[in-house]
Every structure is written in structure tokens, then in C-alpha cells.
Amino acid sequence: MQGAGPVSGYHLVIGDKRHSSWSLRPWLLLTEFGLPFRETEVALDRDTTAAAIRRHSPSGRVPVLYDGGFAVWDSLAILEYLAEQHPEHRVWPAPPLARARARSLAAEMHAGFASLRAELPFIAGERRPGLSFSAEAAAEVARLKAIVADSRGRFGGAGGFLFGPFGAVDAMFAPVMCRFASYGIPVDGPVEAYMRGVLELPGLQAWNRAAAAGAAT
């Protein structure tokens, strides 16, 4: 798993686990599906950060996944690449309509929720309840709750995640569920159950332990 794996296999370059929500997404998918990879973690918000990232990433951003010597960057592009490389895993839902909805939600997460990101920064594993935020961020929180309730009701079935078993769309939504927990955003019903399921993922718990230990190099 992380930190191991052959040089010729997957190599994921990520930002530090305390702050890099975008890096969490492909890392979590790789980890939960048991796909071997090694990782390089780059500390963020330092004078050396930009140069360190440029040594690894053609785009100058993290995350970036190397498959052998070939680079794939951007969280959503990495998830799509892994889905194509590993059809044995249910990265996206199998039914066409569910798969289309899951991809729509992943794209919405990728492009949206700017106020929430700005006002409720991702800090892995920390609890900072009581923060006030704007009407714009509150509307985004309401939208997220509606997405979870609707997806669980329509597509969740007996599984604990948005479309049943854990998949790419849950990897995309995991950092927001972490934000809900960090800032004590009230949730109940299917949203509370979903958030609890995400937070209990072994991969997410491992990420939070590493973040707390200050594993960035």
C-alpha cells in the first residue's frame, strides 16, 4: 500500500495530509480498493513548496499519479484513469443512469462549492466547531445535504454510501464530510449515517493518523 509498491507501478504525489483535500480523493480510492502504490508527500505553504511540486508535476499542482513513467494529474482525471485501468473494481456504479448521476455529482463537487472551501478550510482530523459562515456557504451546505439525502434514497440501496458500495463519487465527497465533522455542522438522518460511514473508512482513518503525526517531508 502507501509507501511501498514497485517503482514500475503507481506512484502518487500528494500535498501534505493535513491540508490537501484534493490529494485525499485519489489516495482514498487507491487505499480502499487495495491498489498498491507508493507515495511522495510534499509539504504545502512553505517557501520550497512550488519548486518541490514542479519536480514531480507537469501542471505544477498536486495530486499527480504516475503509472510507470506516465503522468495523470487532477483528482477527477486520476479517478477516471483508475476506473478504466481496474474494471474489476466498481469505481463507478454499473447502471447507466446511476453512473451518469454519480459522474454529474463528482463534476459538481470538482467545480463548485467555492464559498464552503474558502470559509471552512480542510484540516484533517481537527475539530473546530462553532465557526460562523456566510449565507453563500450555508446555501452550499444545504445543497450538499440535499445531494446526500437524494442519492442515498434513490441509489444507495443496502450499501452505506451514495450509490451503495464505496466508489469514486464518495472519494470526491469525503473531504466535505470531513469538513462537516470538523466544523460541527448539524446533520441527521441519511446525511448523518453517510458522514459516519465516510469517517469510519479505514483509509480515511489512516490518512487522519498520518496527518496528526505530521508525515509531510
- The residue ranges of every structural domain in the chain are 10-89, 96-203
- H or E stretch at 12: strand 10-15
Query: Over 60: is that where the pLDDT of 37 sits?
Result: yes
* Calpha distance 144→136 (Å, rounded): 13
Name which of 125, 173, 118, 184 is nearest 150 in CA terms: 173
Query: Over 60: is that where the pLDDT of 1 sits?
Result: no
Pick the CATH number of 96-203 from 3.60.21.10, 3.65.10.10, 3.40.50.12280, 1.20.1050.10: 1.20.1050.10
Query: Over 50: is that where the pLDDT of 187 sits?
Result: yes
Give yes or no on whether 10-89 and 96-203 have one common fold.
no
Q: Residue range 65-87: average pLDDT? A: 96
* Calpha distance 29→33 (Å, rounded): 6
Plot region of 5 (φ>0 → left; ψ -120 to 50 → alpha; else → beta): left
Predicted local confidence at residue 129, as pLDDT: 87
Name which of 149, 142, 197 is nearest 174 in CA terms: 197
Task: Output the CA angle 210-211-217, nearest 5 degrees.
Answer: 80
Residue appearing with cell numbers 510534499 = 42
Q: How confident is the model at residue 194 (pLDDT cuts 50, 70, 90)?
A: very high
What kind of architecture, by CATH, is found in domain 10-89? 3-Layer(aba) Sandwich (3.40)
Summarize pLDDT for 143-166 with one digit per residue, the tens: 999 999 999 999 999 889 999 999
Which cell is 47 given?
517557501
* Calpha distance 52→50 (Å, rounded): 5
pTM for this prediction? 0.91
- What secondary structure does DSSP assign to 98-160, as a single string? HHHHHHHHHHHHHH--HHHHHHS---TT---TT----HHHHHHHHHHHHHHHHHIIIIITTSS
Predicted local confidence at residue 60, as pLDDT: 78
Provide the b/e sequence for 123-147 (b: ≥16 CB within 10 Å).
bbbeeeeeeebeeebeebbeebbeb
